[in-house]
Chains A and B, each alone.
Chain A
Amino acid sequence: MISDGVEDEEKWLTAGIAGLQQNAFYMHRALDSNNIKDALKYSAQMLSELRTSRLSPHKYYELYMRAFDELRKLEIFFKEESNRSCSIIELYELVQHAGNILPRLYLLCTVGSVYIRSKEAPAKDILKDLVEMCRGIQHPLRGLFLRSYLSQVSRDKLPDIGSEYEGDENTVMDAVEFVLQNFTEMNKLWVRMQHQGPAREKEKREKERNELRDLVGKNLHVLSQIEGIDLELYRDVVLPRVLEQVVNCKDDLAQYYLMDCIIQVFPDEYHLQTLETLLGACPQLQPSVDIKTVLSGLMERLSNYAASSTEVLPEFVQVEAFAKLNNAIGQVIEAQADMPVFGAVALYSSLLTFTLHVHPDRLDYVDQILGACVSKIAGKGKLEAKATKQIVALLSAPLEKYNDIDTALKLSNYPLVMEYLDDRTNKVMSNVIIQSIMKNKTHISTADKVGALFELIKGLIKDLDANNDDEMDEDDFKEEQNSVARLIQMLYNNDPEEMLKLVRRVQSQDDNVTEEETASATPKKIFQILNQTIETLSTVPVPDLALRLYLECAEDSKAQVTALYLIIGTLQRMHTFGVENRDTLTHKATGYSAKLLKKPDQCRAVYACSHLFWVEDQDGVKDVLLCLKRALRIANAAQQMANVAKGSSGSVMLFIEILNKYLYFFEKGNTQITVASIQGLIELVTTEMQSDTSTSDPAADAFLASTIRYIQSQKDKGGATGEKFEAIKV
Chain B
Amino acid sequence: MYGARRILTHNGDELVVFCWCFAMSLRRRTLLKVIVLGDSGVGKTSLMNQYVHKKFSQQYKATIGADFVTKELQIDDRLVTLQIWDTAGQERFQSLGVAFYRGADCCVLVYDVNVMRSFDTLDTWHEEFLKQCFQANPSDPSTFPFILLGNKIDIDGGNSRVVRSRYAHSVSEKKAREWCAAKGNIPYFETSAKEDHNVDASFLSIARTAMANEHEQDIFLQNTKKIQQNRIEKRELEIRGGKKEIAGGTYENEHDDIYLYEDVLLPDISRESLRLYKKQSNEVVVHVNHTKE
Contact = CB atoms under 8 A, between A and B. Distances in A.
Contact of A214 (B5, B31, B81, B94): B94
A29 B261 contact: yes
Given A18-B222, A215-B96, A268 B63 contact: no
B60 A217 contact: no
Contacts, number: 100
Contacts of B287: none
Given A32-B259, A72-B83, A268-B60, A21 B220 contact: yes
B223 interface: yes
Contacts of A61: 96-97, 99
Given A58-B97, A61-B99, A267-B59, A214 B64 contact: yes
Interface stretch (A220-228, A457-465, A518-526): A220-228
A279 B94 CA distance: 26
Contact of A265 (B6, B61, B94, B223): B61
A157 to B, nearest CB: 11
A69 B103 contact: yes
A66 B96 contact: no
B167 interface: no
Given A76-B31, A156-B70, A227-B55, A264 B62 contact: yes
Interface string A147-177: 0000110011000001000000000000000
A8 interface: no
A665 to B, nearest CB: 71
B93 A214 contact: yes
Given A58-B99, A72-B31, A214-B95, A25 B64 contact: no
Contacts of A221: 61-65
Given A211-B95, A211-B96, A65 B102 contact: yes
B62 to A, nearest CB: 4
Contact of B96 (A28, A69, A212, A224): A212
B223 A62 contact: no
Interface residues of B, number: 42
B67 interface: yes
A210 interface: yes
Contacts of A492: none
Contact of B90 (A25, A224, A264): A264
B18 interface: yes
A267 B31 CA distance: 33
A72 to B, nearest CB: 6
Contacts of A264: 61-62, 64, 90, 93
Nearest to A58: B97
A265 B64 contact: yes
Nearest 3 CB-CB pairings of A with B: A267-B59, A264-B62, A214-B65
Given A18-B222, A61-B96, 9 more contacts: A18-B224, A76-B29, A151-B67, A211-B97, A214-B64, A214-B93, A217-B64, A218-B65, A267-B60
Interface of B: 5-6, 8, 18, 20, 22, 29, 31, 45, 55, 57, 59-65, 67-70, 81, 83, 88, 90, 92-97, 99-100, 102-103, 220, 222-224, 259, 261
8 contacts: A29-B20, A64-B99, A69-B103, A72-B83, A156-B70, A218-B65, A221-B64, A225-B61
Interface of A: 17-18, 21-22, 25, 28-29, 32, 57-58, 61-62, 64-66, 69, 72-73, 76, 151-152, 155-156, 162, 210-215, 217-218, 220-221, 224-225, 227, 260-261, 264-269
